[in-house]
Amino acid sequence: MISTPQKIRSGAAFPFDNSYVGLPKHFFAPQSPTPVSEPWLIKLNEPLAAELGLDVEALRRDGAAIFSGNLIPEGAEPLAMAYAGHQFGGFSPQLGDGRAILLGEVIDRSGKRFDIQLKGAGPTPFSRRGDGRAAIGPVLREYIISEAMFALGIPATRALAAVTTGEPVYREEVLPGAVFTRVAASHIRVGTFQYFAARGDTEGVRSLADYVIDRHYPALREADNPYLALFEAVSERQAALIARWLHVGFIHGVMNTDNMTVSGETIDFGPCAFMDAYDPATVFSSIDQHGRYAYANQPGIGQWNLARLGETLLPLIDGEPDSAVDKANGVIRAYGERFQAHWLAGMRKKIGLTGDEDGDLELVQALLSLMQAQNADFTLTFRRLSDLAGDEAAESAFVASFREAEASSAWLTQWRERLSRDPQTTSARATAMRSVNPAFIPRNHRVEQAIEAAVENGDFSLFDALLTVLARPYENQPDFAGYGEPPKPHERVLATFCGT
């Protein structure tokens, strides 16, 4: 067993260009991964590795050691980031990376900067008596969901690799250990700002804000009020992101402020899940006992989280406190309009509309209400509507989405009447609808089946098959048609778990 991580001097070189480590020392804690006994590479995301400018051949050879933390690539400057956060509404002034270690940053082939982070790589100063490790189930879940989100076109962190450690982790039961390698535009969260604001460290907030502007929003450097402009830009990205979640039936599950990035990426796929039958009150997370983060609550929680970000920026927005509050409140109020605009624009596309009419919102809401009343599957209903848009013979399949055969007839009449005023051709409309209404999502029962096979039998074939299907979510894949079907009653997954 390797007792300390070893530095790589050749072979799998990483083009590190680390910037976060240049911030004040209280922003992070230097921390090397804790080596493991018998690492084994489950999966290497070779296309992503190539995009990041990494040596794929070398990673095939050394990836198990690198992505377990046993070997540290030359140029890495491992650290655990400090942050705070509101968790289910209660504020924790110190959280931080308790089981995650940022190896460093790379510039990819297109010139974009990305973090490379190991999750489950051992304890850090922020572990709060935890072991800093991860079990294989949560690692596979995050790999599957993050790559599915990417394929769906939704901003999200990416999966670079997953490895087993050859060591057990102890939760409610003994489980195989694993490490997940995550790639993100950055890991800076609303909670990162809260960490410094909670300590009265205005200069820390300013340094962080300046860094975020330089890294994610460089055009804002020239704004009359860069910090107010930053707040507006983050609000816009979150409004667009959460609307995209709702368009595909995604439920994050733990929308704490430490799980909201300022870059606008989806992050931390713990108890997340995709809805089967449409119900706006759907909750999967086992720790969300009161439905705070239910499907339909996500837009409002996004606004609440942004208000917490705004509080940290007040001293930077305006030196006069009342004026700062007024300006920040204006951004928070505007978020609702931003979200509604993004959501309705996406829903128009999902039902095949290109233009805007006053009754479009009511038409969308009528369909959603019908789906809820009839227990219709969210993904399958919209996909079948896409088929119907291009072929009237597909009406029987669409109607079959509902429990009662005649339930959709009145809505279909209204929809066809509205389409008669839309300029698209039938073929173009069907193609456009299929490009936004996926045939395949990471259905909970399929994810759980893949995890169970890996945990119980060391069988990763279902995991690999699921990744293959989800890489092309908008295409018809006849050989994998079963992956598009809702679960049978005995297959339904009613609760998902955080995995920490």
Tens of pLDDT, residues 11-43? 578 999 999 999 999 999 999 999 999 999 999
Cα–Cα dist 336/232, whole Å: 12
Look up the pTM and report it. 0.95
Q: Which pLDDT tens digit goes with each residue over 243-285? A: 999 999 999 999 999 999 999 999 999 899 999 999 999 999 8
SS3 100: strand
1 pLDDT band (50/70/90 cuts)? very low
Neighbours of 139 (CB within 10 A): 29
- Catalytic residue, candidates 258, 288, 318, 377: 258
Neighbours of 6 (CB within 10 A): 12
Amino acid at 200: G
Q: How far is CA 127 from CA 4, 163, 467, 495, 500, in A?
A: 19, 21, 31, 26, 11
Minimum mean pLDDT among 7-21, 205-219, 360-374, 449-463: which range?
7-21
The pLDDT, as a whole number, for residue 2 is 46
Number of H helices, E strands in the chain: 15, 14
pLDDT of 65 higher than 50 = yes
Mean pLDDT of 410-419: 97
10 pLDDT band (50/70/90 cuts)? very low
Cα–Cα dist 262/305, whole Å: 11
258 has catalytic annotation: yes
Mean pLDDT of 454-474: 97
